[in-house]
């Protein structure tokens, strides 16, 4: 099993493991659904600093839920700390997406030409 580091924590994660990919997709679906009302509230707002702060808090809250769903309860706090940091929350998604995209791009290069 390969590992991935998110924030201060290293977790077992292999982008080739289809069970891990399913867990990722399930967690991502949950995040997207939870983010819809957060985004809608921001879009309907005056887009002032307070509104942006609320959106960032919502994004981080759901990012923590995403990490906990992927790696177990308490994983987000171990990785990112107890205080929300929008850069760290977005970075967690970026780290996972990069790992998956790199794996998939390498795999596509190995496929026989007819499969591509």
Q: Spell out the domain ranges in the chain.
A: 17-110
**What digits encode the pLDDT tens for the residues 90-99?**
999 999 999 9
**Lowest mean pLDDT, pick from 44-48, 55-59, 80-84, 92-96:** 44-48
Q: What is the pLDDT of residue 110?
A: 86
Partnered with residue 5 across adjacent β-strands are 10
Is the Cα dihedral 40, 43, 44, 45 positive or negative?
Answer: positive
Q: What is the pLDDT of residue 47?
A: 82
Give the list of residues 6+ apart from residue 6 with CB closer than 8 angstroms, or none.
67, 79, 80, 91, 92, 95, 96
Token pair for 55: 């959106």
Q: Report how far apart, in Å, the C-alpha atoms of 34 and of each of 38, 40, 53, 60, 71 are.
A: 7, 11, 17, 11, 19
Token pair for 67: 């990490």
Nearest to 3 by CA among 113, 106, 101, 96: 96
């Amino acid at each position: 099993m390969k590992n991935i580091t998110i924030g201060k924590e290293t977790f077992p994660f292999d982008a080739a493991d289809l069970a891990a990919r399913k867990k990722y997709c399930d967690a991502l679906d949950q995040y997207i659904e939870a983010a819809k009302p957060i985004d809608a509230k921001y879009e309907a707002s005056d887009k002032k600093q307070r509104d942006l702060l609320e959106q960032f808090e919502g994004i981080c809250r759901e990012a923590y839920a995403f990490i906990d769903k992927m790696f177990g309860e308490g994983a987000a706090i171990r990785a990112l700390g107890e205080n929300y940091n929008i850069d760290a929350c977005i970075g967690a998604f970026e780290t996972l997406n990069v790992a998956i995209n790199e794996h998939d791009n390498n795999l596509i290069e190995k496929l026989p030409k007819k499969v591509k």
